[in-house]
Amino acid sequence: MADPQEILAARVQSALGAALGAEFAETDPVIRPSQFADYQANAALALAKRIGRAPRDVAADIVAQLDVDDLCREVEISGPGFINLTLRDDWIAAQAQALLSDPRAGVPQQDPETVAIDYSAPNVAKEMHVGHLRTTVVGDALARVLEALGHRVVRQNHIGDWGTPFGMLIEHLLDAGEDSPEAELVKTDPNAFYQAAREKFDDSAEFAARARKRVVDLQAGDPETLRLWQELVDLSKVYFNRIYAKLDVTLTDSDLAGESTYNAMLPGICEELERTGIAEISEGALCVFLEGFTGREGRPVPLIVRKSDGGYGYGTTDLATVKYRVEQLGARRLLYVIGAPQSLHLRMVWQTARKAGWLPEGVDPVHVQIGNVLGSDGKILRTRSGKPIRLMELLDEAVERATTVVADNRPDLDEATRASIARDVGIGAVKYADLSVSHDTEYVFDYDRMLALTGNTGPYLQYAAARIRSIFRKGGVDPASAEGPVVLTEPAERELALALLGFGPAVAAVGATLEPHRLCSYLFDLAQAFTAFFEQCPVLQAADPAVRESRFALIAATLQTLVAGLDLLGVRAPEQM
């Protein structure tokens, strides 16, 4: 697909070389969207300073060499030396029309790279909280977008499935019985199970002693203990998968690569770090001291890779994730979609891995920082009684509220249809609200705002898509059969067609910046361009059949783009609303 900005950049760049000499052939032509034309090239201003000439003269020389007759209707030098570029209507029309027969819906195919994405990562026998909701939703959108751009994505769900709490969890499971209702709680209300284990641990010395002994057995690989541990992990998987199914998240059991996956690698990691002198023993623990990581009073902060009791920590397993993803998965990009507070931890891990040679030149790990989700009081979202919110309840409430909205708007639909729409709208609203703000900022969780049918919300975009579908239904036309030709006469038609060409570039921008909110902004702009178009340009009522065909093609391309865009965000577009 044609990205006008990219094509214009290439053309202006070669004009630059022709006008000013080969040494300028690589100069960035600085193409930007313009207020006075479709785009403007700003390069002449900076270049003029460099070569000591008047900017308007430099611009004139560039324009003299510029060959854009096939795609621009007007090229104009304006102000101090901007080159204004206005696209030809027939060019825009042809590009918009070509979208309809493009199986990639305008998304460019990039040189494939292997990308490992660490996301979601809940903990076994614990409730997923809103922080996990956000890393799950953002990580999944990134996985979908990078796949659409042609990359090989390896999802890595780094669940917390190892460590000392498993001693008490296993003992509690044994006390309750493996087939007991208490054990069932791990599938439905994991915190209740965890809390009960915790209370026993705090109250009973006998239980605590058993739990401690269990941790030793677990680490020693005692088969019966491992079986019980596996039982807990399996029960938790049921819970995770219920949440993932409810959220329409692409994670499956084959993406699970929890902390325990790396157990066998940990002694070797410590051994190598010690042998190469990267780690040293300090107060009995094996530590890596890195330059620039200091705490209070300038005291060095270590990355502890082996505790004084011989146990390994969170840092050690994360070192193993780097090694595994680079060496075994062949990943060239490593994304860690994790809460912002873990930034220090990750930087220490990566710097250590770099020193040890596990992170070769050219492989860049990225922390996709996830900001907090806040309640209306501006504090971390909690229930009224101060407990952490149960994710399942949060999602169920979104669907419930959407049910009311749908019941109000569409009393004509049968119950089953309404329920399915409510589900798509409720879940879509929560996911979209999460994705439409930059992933590293905090946002206030607000059902009313996220479910609103106006503004940059999931329901607004779903509604735009449903409206287009209803136009086709009313006209008795299948959107798949709309093929134009697209002819642009009204300004609102031109605006919509031009907006359609922005989809591929918007998806590419998400792949490059790892910021899904860019795709949301794009889709919101597109939906607004459609709304403006629809107010000014009747489709079914258009008197001229050629205009009707053209408008059908335009809205079919809009529908295709909205649906494809929402799908990349993991949001469903219901048939009607």
The contact set with ligand ARG (CB under 6 A) reads 118, 121, 123, 158, 160, 318, 321, 336, 338
Amino acid letter for position 466: A
Q: Which is nearer to ligand ARG, 225 or 321 (CB)?
A: 321
Scanning 77-204, the segments in alpha helix (DSSP H) are: 89-99, 130-148, 165-176, 181-188, 190-203
Structure tokens, 414: 């049968």
**DSSP tally for the chain: helices H, then strands E:** 21, 13
CA geometry: angle 36, 38, 39, nearest 5 deg: 90
Find the shortest distance in angstroms from Cβ 305 to ligand ARG: 15
Q: Which residue has the tokens 């918007």?
A: 506
Find the shortest distance in angstroms from Cβ 336 to ligand ARG: 6
Find the shortest distance in angstroms from Cβ 349 to ligand ARG: 8
User: Among all residues, whose Cβ is closest to ligand ARG?
Assistant: 121
Q: Which residue has the tokens 């902060």?
A: 301
Q: Which is nearer to ligand ARG, 321 or 550 (CB)?
A: 321
Helix (H) or strand (E) holding 151: none
Q: Which is nearer to ligand ARG, 118 or 140 (CB)?
A: 118
Q: Which is nearer to ligand ARG, 118 or 434 (CB)?
A: 118
Q: Which is nearer to ligand ARG, 336 or 460 (CB)?
A: 336
Q: Which is nearer to ligand ARG, 318 or 493 (CB)?
A: 318
Q: Which is nearer to ligand ARG, 61 or 318 (CB)?
A: 318
Find the shortest distance in angstroms from Cβ 420 to ligand ARG: 32
Q: Which is nearer to ligand ARG, 71 or 133 (CB)?
A: 133
Work out the widest C-alpha separation in the chain, in whole angstroms: 89
CA dihedral sign of residues 263, 256, 188, 377: positive
Backbone angles phi, psi at 382, to 5 degrees: -140, 170
Find the shortest distance in angstroms from Cβ 162 to ligand ARG: 10
CA dihedral sign of residues 127, 133, 134, 135: positive
Find the shortest distance in angstroms from Cβ 268 to ligand ARG: 19
- Per the CB < 8 A criterion, the answer to whether 401 and 433 are in contact is no
Find the shortest distance in angstroms from Cβ 472 to ligand ARG: 44
Structure tokens, 443: 């946002």
Q: How buried is residue 31: exposed, middle or buried, by Cβ count under 10 Å (0-12/13-18/19+)?
A: buried
Q: What secondary structure, in 3-state letters, does 376-416 show?
A: CCCCECECCCCCECCHHHHHHHHHHHHHHHHHHHCCCCCHH
* Relative orientation angle of helices 503-513 and 130-148, to the nearest 10 degrees: 120
Find the shortest distance in angstroms from Cβ 112 to ligand ARG: 24
* Inter-CA distances, 240 with 121, 298, 319, 395, Å: 10, 42, 25, 14
Q: Which is nearer to ligand ARG, 86 or 342 (CB)?
A: 342
CA distance 263 to 219: 9
Find the shortest distance in angstroms from Cβ 200 to ligand ARG: 23
Q: Which is nearer to ligand ARG, 321 or 560 (CB)?
A: 321
Amino acid letter for position 367: H
Q: Which is nearer to ligand ARG, 92 or 338 (CB)?
A: 338
Q: Which is nearer to ligand ARG, 389 or 482 (CB)?
A: 389
Find the shortest distance in angstroms from Cβ 342 to ligand ARG: 7
Q: Which is nearer to ligand ARG, 8 or 121 (CB)?
A: 121
Tell me the CA end-to-end span of the chain in Å, nearest whole number: 31
Task: Select from 310, 312, 292 the least CA-distant residue to 300.
Answer: 292
Find the shortest distance in angstroms from Cβ 396 to ligand ARG: 22
Find the shortest distance in angstroms from Cβ 320 to ligand ARG: 10
- Per the CB < 8 A criterion, the answer to whether 119 and 139 are in contact is yes
Find the shortest distance in angstroms from Cβ 121 to ligand ARG: 4
Q: Which of 406-424 are b and which e, b meaning 16 or more Cβ less than 10 Å from the residue's Cβ? A: beeeeeebeeeebbebbbb
Q: Which residue has the tokens 């998968």?
A: 241
CA distance 298 to 116: 35
Annotate 441-488 with DSSP letters as a single string. S-EE--HHHHT-SSSSSHHHHHHHHHHHHHHHHHHT--GGG-------
CA distance 507 to 145: 7
